[in-house]
Amino acid sequence: MAFNVSTLPAYVQDNKDLLLKNFALVGGTRSRISIQTGVKHSAHLNFMEVAPTLQDGAGCAFSNAGEVALTQRTIETAAIKINLDLCPKTLRGKYAEYLIQMNAAEHELPFEAYIMEGVTNVLAKKIETLMWQGDKSKSADANLKWVDGFLKIAKGEGGVKEVTITTDSIYGAIAKVYAELPDEVIERGAEIYVSPANYRKFMMEMVEKNFFHYAGAVEAAPTEFYFPGTSAKVVMTAGLTGVNDKIVGTFAKNLFYGCDMENDEEVIEIWWSQDDRNFKLAAEWNSGVQIAFPNMVVVGATA
């Protein structure tokens, strides 16, 4: 007796929206920052700051003082895709040979659910890295050349506060970045983004300093931690993996991620191609980032 799965719907068709959102919208930094949808190539981010001036109210005269300032930043996205050929015949003679189902009526991709889960997980990580480390000048880097990420944007903005870190202590480095944060950033919920390696060092320093009760390995390690004595969060950021010489402080909603997600620009699908008798996997989307208020960003860099 054999399993008959011919009446089951395709995994991708059933989960298309979920798969798209998994790699294009959610996870990592994108779960906490501002999302700007409907961006096909570029779009304006419009902001309004109200700054009235207090005046003497004893008299009857009307005197204009203060302003409503309208500012604008441009967020640019790049159209990105992956294309894969998947030939089930390559499984013949392998341990997964029994999964091959190819007959005149049905073509089913072995491991379809696992392949799609793996693809979306990898894409999510690549997008997270692109958001932080993207650099259009790196034309030879297939993962980072598409758009400028937060680090590159911050480096080219005059309003960003840059501080030099000279201590080997990650606690001391974070403290220096925190000390330079504008009061408005603190009021809006300051977050200090660090690489996974720096975050691990920070947590070890917290244990050594006995700044919190350490429960041992039975508790899952947190990915964010309030900096002792403050309301600011230190956040482990996968997009900064490998970037151990930079620490970024701001508030989460000051960072924008742009994509489309309102039309048919984002695609993820698998289909059987009669032309070359292979399965085809295609994913297409657009990504880009921008910093709303550069003067609300502090970047700490080691000397």
Residues 72-123: pLDDT tens digits?
788 888 988 888 887 766 655 544 444 445 443 355 665 677 777 788 888 8
Quick check: 253 pLDDT over 80? yes
Residues 6+ apart with CB under 8 A from 96: 110, 111
Quick check: 223 pLDDT over 90? no
Q: What is the pLDDT of residue 288?
A: 92
Quick check: 3 pLDDT over 50? no
* CB 268, CB 19: distance < 8 Å: yes
Quick check: 218 pLDDT over 50? no
Identify the top-confidence range among 33-42, 94-103, 260-269: 33-42
115-119, 215-219, 245-249, 265-269, range with the lowest pLDDT: 215-219
Q: What is the pLDDT of residue 98?
A: 46
Return the CA Rg of the chain: 25
CA angle 107, 108, 113 (to 5 degrees): 160
Q: Fill in the DSSP letter of residue 239.
A: G
**Mean pLDDT of the region 172-191:** 97
230-234, 254-258, 282-286, range with the lowest pLDDT: 282-286
Identify the top-confidence range among 18-27, 214-223, 290-299: 290-299
Quick check: 219 pLDDT over 60? no
Average pLDDT, the chain: 81
Q: Residue 154 is which amino acid?
A: A
Q: What is the pLDDT of residue 1?
A: 38
CA angle 194, 198, 203 (to 5 degrees): 105
H or E segment and range at residue 116: helix 112-133
Q: What percent of the chain has pLDDT over 70?
A: 76
Q: What percent of the chain has pLDDT over 90?
A: 39
**Mean pLDDT of the region 130-137:** 96
**Mean pLDDT of the region 273-285:** 82
pLDDT category at 263 given cuts 50, 70, 90 is: low
Q: What is the pLDDT of residue 42?
A: 78
Domain positions in the chain: 11-42+75-302
Q: Which segments of the chain are extended strands (E)?
A: 34-36, 42-52, 66-76, 78-86, 101-102, 107-108, 161-165, 190-194, 224-226, 233-236, 246-251, 255-258, 267-273, 278-291, 298-302
Quick check: 52 pLDDT over 70? yes
HEC letters along 260-282? CCCCCCCEEEEEEECCCCEEEEE
171-180, 253-262, 294-303, range with the lowest pLDDT: 253-262
